[in-house]
């Protein structure tokens, strides 16, 4: 059954330039093709909005156009007008927009809402996720609600009988949004946004009838550029631990053993040799601890990281020595298979270095039998 408002779009009793009410104006947008004039009218209404009621009324009128069959140019005008409203008062707008969106999404399972509407609502949601993601305060308060609606709308559209090419368009739209929100912005915002995404999607996954989040979770998991971003920026930067920890959930839920061994390890090994003062200052420890406990890290740790970390104990920089010992303690806890261990060290001449190595040995499993070199043996004997 056709929507009454859509049927009204075929009637134009009043010339569009005579409209004084935005509701009448938008109801006839499907028959108007003068795009500059539409833009001008919408811009004037938005600029003249003087109080909360005007603001809310304009948003309501524009929002209901998701049900109308409009051409692409008019759609762009509507989205740009919604964006102009947002920029006029971001906090007020995003609250009103999210409330309207929540109401429509909640009714999807009750009312017969067209896939055309779902497609438009998903595009709008992507647009405003992208806009609030650059504002830490707005992201913390309002991004969670938009994420859940984005996930619901995406799943609904992809599982519908819509054409495959439009499904691909919707998927690419979300992928581009994720790339911009999680990769192409500043470190601080990227960490925050990723953490919010994971927290919201995992949290709701624990509830019944919320399997729609699986699609969006899978898309985040496939964002290999996050790993590339981590390699290119985090492994080479002196970033505060509080910011590095923002990626913990990403590594826990999405990074596999193969990702770690074949994508991260080589860069990690080079960074450890090139700049141990950076890597051992919490980056390596945070990465190893955050990886899923179901992943056995024994082989790459013992074969690639074990000796370089111990050799860092011989550094003339006391901070490097201290951080190396702390890192060594944590990575050993992540090893369950000690068959890979190769404990061959270069000569140790400093008494302090020998003592540090002795202390490092105490972190190894008690049952492990080691064939140590002469320096370590003498030090152990003298202890």
DSSP reduced 3-state for 173: helix
Whole-number Å distance between alpha carbons of 314 and 309: 10
Assess whether pLDDT exceeds 80 at residue 138. yes
Give the start-to-end residue ranges of the domains of the chain.
22-203, 222-382
User: What pLDDT does residue 319 have?
Assistant: 87
pLDDT tens by residue, 146-165: 999 999 999 889 888 888 89
What's the pLDDT tens digit per position in 343-372? 544 555 565 655 666 566 665 665 555 554
Q: Look up tokens 């190893």; give the residue.
A: 288
The alpha carbon torsion through 292, 294, 295, 296 (nearest 10 deg) reads 130
- Mind listing the pLDDT tens digit for each residue in 319-335? 888 888 888 888 888 87
Residue 187 has pLDDT above 70, yes or no: no
Q: What is the pLDDT of residues 263-304, one digit of tens each?
A: 899 999 998 888 888 888 888 988 988 888 888 888 888 888
Count Cβ neighbours within 10 Å for each residue of 134-166 and write b for 16 or more, e otherwise: ebeebbeebbbbbbbbbbbbbbbbeeeebeeee
Say which range, 133-142, 148-157, 168-177, 183-192, has the weakest mean pLDDT.
183-192
pLDDT, tens digit (0-9, with 9 covering 90-100), for 64-86: 999 888 888 899 999 999 999 99
């Amino acid at each position: 059954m056709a929507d009454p408002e859509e049927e009204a779009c075929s009637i134009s009793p009043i010339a569009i330039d005579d409209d004084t009410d935005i509701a009448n104006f938008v109801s006839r947008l499907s028959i108007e093709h003068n795009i500059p004039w539409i833009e001008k009218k919408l811009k004037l209404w938005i600029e003249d909005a003087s109080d909360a009621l005007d603001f809310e009324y304009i948003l309501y009128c524009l929002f209901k156009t998701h049900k109308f069959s409009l051409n692409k140019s008019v759609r762009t005008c509507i989205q740009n007008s919604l964006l102009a409203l947002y920029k006029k008062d971001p906090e007020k707008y995003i609250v009103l927009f999210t409330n309207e969106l929540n109401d429509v999404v909640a009714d999807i399972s009750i009312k017969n809402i067209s896939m055309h509407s779902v497609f438009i609502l998903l595009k709008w949601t992507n647009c405003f996720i992208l806009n609030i993601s650059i504002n830490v305060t707005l992201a913390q308060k309002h991004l969670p609600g938009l994420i859940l609606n984005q996930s619901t709308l995406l799943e609904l559209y992809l599982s519908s009988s819509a054409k495959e090419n439009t499904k691909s368009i919707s998927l690419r739209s979300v992928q581009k949004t994720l790339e911009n929100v999680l990769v192409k912005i500043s470190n601080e915002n990227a960490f925050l946004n990723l953490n919010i995404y994971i927290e919201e999607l995992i949290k709701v996954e624990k509830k019944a009838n919320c399997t729609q989040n699986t699609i969006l979770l899978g898309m985040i998991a496939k964002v290999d550029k996050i790993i590339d971003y981590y390699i290119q920026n985090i492994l080479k930067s002196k970033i505060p631990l509080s910011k590095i920890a923002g990626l913990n959930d990403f590594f826990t839920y999405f990074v596999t053993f193969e990702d770690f061994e074949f994508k991260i390890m080589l860069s990690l090994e080079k960074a450890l040799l090139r700049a141990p003062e950076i890597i051992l200052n919490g980056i390596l420890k945070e990465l190893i601890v955050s990886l899923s406990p179901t992943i056995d890290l024994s082989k790459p740790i013992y074969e690639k990281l074990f000796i370089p970390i111990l050799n860092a104990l011989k550094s003339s920089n006391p901070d490097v020595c201290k951080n190396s010992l702390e890192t060594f303690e944590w990575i050993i806890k992540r090893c369950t298979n000690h068959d890979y261990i190769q404990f061959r060290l270069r000569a140790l001449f400093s008494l302090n270095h020998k003592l540090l190595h002795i202390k490092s040995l105490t972190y190894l499993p008690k049952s492990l039998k080691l064939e140590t070199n002469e320096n370590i043996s003498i030090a152990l004997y003298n202890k």
